[in-house]
Chains A and B, each alone.
Chain A
Amino acid sequence: MNYEPVIGLEIHLQLSTRTKMFCGCELSFGDPPNVHTCPVCLGLPGALPVLNARAVDYGLLIGLALGCEIAERSLFHRKNYFYPDLPKGYQISQFDVPLCRGGRLGDFRIHRVHLEEDAAKLVHVGESGRIHGSDRSVVDFNRGGTPLVEIVTEPDFRSPEQAHEWLSLLRTTLKQLGVSDAKMEEGSLRCDANVSVRPAGTSALGTKTELKNMNSFRFVERGIRAEIERQVGLLEAGDVVKQETLHFDPASAKVTSLRSKEEAHDYRYFPEPDLLPLVIDAEMLDAVRAQLPELPAARAARFERELGLSAERARELAFRAELGDYFELVLAANGGNRGDAVRVANWIPQLVERIGSDADPAQSKVAPEALAALVAMVGAKEVGREAARDVLTRLVAEGGDPRAIVQAEELGAMGTDDGGVIELIDRAIAADPRAADQVRAGNVKAIGPLVGYVMRESKGRADGGEVGKLIRARLLDQS
């Protein structure tokens, strides 16, 4: 039987506000433990929470960016459970009346977005670094009370790859909003996945499991894939899927059970009496709306509509903000000539290939002006495409001005009236008479090796198109 996976995501995002959700302690990463604490975030007796206004603004920015409906009045609740990383014995979170409901990003629907506070960090002392087998655990309250936004999607994903790709779009959107570092490796973006499978073509949902805290997009994809395989295996063996919470271990690519449904907590939610209902008025909403930057989806649409980029290229640049930013800088350095946009855009993947797929081109040695100059030289046929690729490699390694490199390395394009090109064509025909014969016999494709020879020998300085024309003229004239 064929099975269809049904996947929903829950994303926890640490907001990059200056201070914590309910007190004035500064947010930090990598500081010595327990230096950013106060009576409030330590849960000392008598301390009370006060809501961080900036965190609310950030929550609203996210809600607006995701097209959510913003609640005029939302509530904070207490979510009660005991754990050493939770100093009050309850987490302040939003429950049945969240800040935002509904919405959409790309092709996937958002269920809700709400505000809450992060727990402190447990450090398990021992070899494994995990709780199992550790000698003891110590608590670092620096993280405790960090503002969090939880984004819950509808179960709209049908493959692990879709989930991965969408998470990249979400991360770009969040970074563009300036509300978070959104770094999975530092824990400022964490993702859980709800996974179930059902016979393809049916509409009833299967029993779902929850995969917890996978710490990279790749692991999210692999974890979901492993869990789908596990569930399909169970069903095919005539077994059933149990509702439980699971942990994915990337080393073994196995999922293990953290707790079953029976062990699930009764959180005894009730409205937090220490905080007032959160009321969002039109003025607040307008102020936040005015701060909204252009978002990846809108940017891709603009690249496509106004600059004539293909849909694929537009998304490639827009969904990674640093690529889109760099692209626009090169375009500006080029005098803002929109006619060149497609050509400039085609060079960005070349650059990415050379600097590494995760690197930010703005941090590379290639100044936007340099890339703009190089693209212009190619356009004016001052340098051949092949030679230009070599120049880009040099720019990535050393920086500098492409004109100077072309001049110093004598990479300037060879004109067709240049005797050198004619000489190289003669040598190419002499070196591969079989290919020459085939061209003469009418097999146009056989011209490739001959052009290749000239390009290689000219170090890419010759214009491939022109060389082809010259060879054809020569061989076909003689016949």
Chain B
Amino acid sequence: MDSVTSLIELTATGAAERVRAREIEPAELFDVYRSRAAGDDLNAFTWVADGPPTPGPAPDAPLGGVPLAVKDLFCTEGVPSQAGSRILEGYRPPYTATVVANLMRAGAPLLGKTNQDEFAMGSSNENSAFGPVLNPWDRSRVPGGSSGGSAAAVAAGLAPWAIGTDTGGSIRQPAALCGIVGLKPTYGACSRYGMIAFASSLDQAGPLTRDVTDAALLLRHMVGRDRLDSTSIEFPGEIELPHAEDLAGIRLGVPEELAGDGIDPGVLESFKATLKLAEGLGARIESCRLPHAAHALSAYYLIAPAEASANLARFDGVRYGLRVDADELTEMYSRTRAAGFGAEVKRRIMLGTYALSSGYYDAYYGTAQKVRTKIADDFADAFATFDFIVTPTSPWTAFKLGSKVADPYAMYLNDICTVPMPLAGLPAISIPSGLSAGLPVGFQLAGPAFSESRMLSSAYALERAIGFDGSPARR
């Protein structure tokens, strides 16, 4: 390989194969991406590595030395890990998150840390203390969130691949809005150790990649039981690299609740076209019901803030991060948290604190947990009939920066199609299904727990049929 252009045109899996075949030097690959990341004008990165790690990855490492962009909220030893928040400005943790350590060991060196909504709370990346990320398809638009930096970096070819976290859609929605692949694994498949927590019972790490094969390869080296995370579990079998040519015998359920009202017509058109392609590949498509899906957003916006209100209590100015001094302890807490947290984080801490308060717990948090069980039951019923549930990933394509900032509820509606799956702990993937008015649209498949390999396989067949080739990185 001799030109930068051809290097960045390679998928991550392709690049890893060339490295293992000794056709590319890993240091050369790292340098190309390092200089692209350093020249980032999308505000996708909050930190970029000075150079490749020494010693470099073994020449036959499975991830081939292909550099990795990592969402800011993953702790990386000695490297700023700020979760998009002023309260952690300059914070360099003394340890590395398990998932990042797993990937580094498998041969993916750390390229940089990516911008995000503060503590993963947001769907537009406008809630970052380090400024919004721009969508590489249209710089006046948002990249989605909260893993907006990771999605924009991969879409713009500033990074070969990236990892993010998904709590209510934070991998899938920005992947959709940036025209890339994003996968949220089954809850417990990837260790949460070292991920700065938003909502512990929902958070899950996953890949953001140019294509389905890259997602499978990266995920293969992310999953696994971690003795430091009690909620992690050994993944049954290895994540397989996808190779399905068709969807013969695959039954797809289209939930009425998530694929009709409230979805932008252009998005719906792309969704329906993709269903046609699936049918052509041999899939059986039927409409189905998720009767409690309509309440998923309400349950989510009680459970996630409740957990967040406790998870964010540790940012008190005593041990690390920002401290705004005062003469008295409570005042120091107040000033530090007032100055350190952004408006959306404060809103959710207030919501969560209220939902857990004595006398309100049963009505809010308790009821939300019951709804959560109902939603999981809905999916279990649906998966008795269907292999996968399919929906548009996001009701809209990328929207204008600032257009929803003043209306939190409109912003929350972004997550309507992505929130039910994490409430049920289920895996889901978003793949690009085409463009609507020049902007990417995402198509989502959700499957039963630990169905990742099958799900990737079906997504791969669809990806080939769709033939989406619009990444601005390759233009």
Q: B134 within 8 Å of A by Cβ?
A: no
Q: How large is the interface on B (under 10, 10 to 19, 20 to 34, 35 or more residues)?
A: 35 or more
A46 touches B333 (CB 8 A): no
List of B residues within 8 angstroms of A139 by Cβ = 318
- Greatest chain A CB density within 10 A among B94, B313, B358 is at B313
Q: How far is the CA of A276 from the CA of B315 in the complex (A)?
A: 25
List of B residues within 8 angstroms of A268 by Cβ = 309-310, 353, 356-358, 361
A80 touches B93 (CB 8 A): no
Assess A275 versus B357: contact at CB under 8 Å? Given A45-B81, A48-B193, A90-B313. Answer: no
B97 touches A46 (CB 8 A): yes
Q: A79's closest neighbor in chain B, by CB?
A: B310
B310 touches A46 (CB 8 A): no
Q: B230 within 8 Å of A by Cβ?
A: yes
Q: B329 within 8 Å of A by Cβ?
A: yes
Assess A80 versus B319: contact at CB under 8 Å? Given A273-B201, A274-B230, A276-B230. Answer: no
Q: How far is the CA of A50 from the CA of B201 in the complex (A)?
A: 15
List of B residues within 8 angstroms of A275 by Cβ = 230-231
Assess A270 versus B195: contact at CB under 8 Å? Given A43-B319, A48-B229, A276-B231. Answer: no
Q: How far is the CA of A273 from the CA of B192 in the complex (A)?
A: 12
B358 touches A50 (CB 8 A): no
List of A residues within 8 angstroms of B93 by Cβ = 39, 44-46
- The smallest C-beta distance from A258 to any residue of chain B, in angstroms, reads 16
B361 touches A80 (CB 8 A): no
Which of B193, B196, B227, B329 contacts A84, CB < 8 Å?
B329
Q: B446 within 8 Å of A by Cβ?
A: no
Q: B314 within 8 Å of A by Cβ?
A: yes
Q: How far is the CA of A60 from the CA of B220 in the complex (A)?
A: 40
List residues 224-241 of chain B with CB under 8 A from any CB of chain A.
227-231
Q: How far is the CA of A49 from the CA of B230 in the complex (A)?
A: 7
Assess A46 versus B193: contact at CB under 8 Å? Given A273-B201, A273-B307, A274-B230. Answer: yes
Which of A47, A51, A89 contacts B193, CB < 8 Å?
A47
- The smallest C-beta distance from B283 to any residue of chain A, in angstroms, reads 36
- Encoded as 1 (CB less than 8 Å from any A CB) or 0, chain B from 313 to 344 comes to 11110111000000001100100000000000
Q: How far is the CA of A78 from the CA of B75 in the complex (A)?
A: 23
Assess A270 versus B319: contact at CB under 8 Å? Given A48-B228, A89-B313, A276-B230. Answer: no
List of A residues within 8 angstroms of B83 by Cβ = 45
List residues 156-212 of chain B with CB under 8 A from any CB of chain A.
192-197, 199-201
A90 touches B230 (CB 8 A): no
List of B residues within 8 angstroms of A90 by Cβ = 310, 313
List of A residues within 8 angstroms of B320 by Cβ = 44-45
Assess A48 versus B310: contact at CB under 8 Å? Given A139-B318, A268-B353, A270-B365. Answer: no
- Greatest chain B CB density within 10 A among A47, A90, A275 is at A47
Assess A82 versus B193: contact at CB under 8 Å? Given A45-B91, A46-B75. Answer: no
Assess A50 versus B319: contact at CB under 8 Å? Given A45-B88, A82-B313, A273-B307. Answer: no
What are 29 A-B pairs at a CB distance below 8 A?
A39-B95, A44-B93, A44-B95, A44-B320, A45-B81, A45-B88, A45-B197, A46-B73, A46-B74, A46-B75, A46-B97, A46-B196, A48-B192, A48-B229, A48-B231, A50-B230, A51-B230, A80-B309, A80-B310, A82-B316, A82-B333, A89-B314, A266-B358, A268-B309, A268-B353, A270-B356, A270-B361, A275-B231, A276-B230
Chain A residues with CB under 8 Å of chain B are: 39, 42-51, 78, 80, 82, 84, 87-90, 139, 266, 268-270, 273-276
Chain B residues with CB under 8 Å of chain A are: 73-75, 81, 83, 88, 91, 93-95, 97, 192-197, 199-201, 227-231, 306-307, 309-310, 312-316, 318-320, 329-330, 333, 353, 356-358, 361, 365
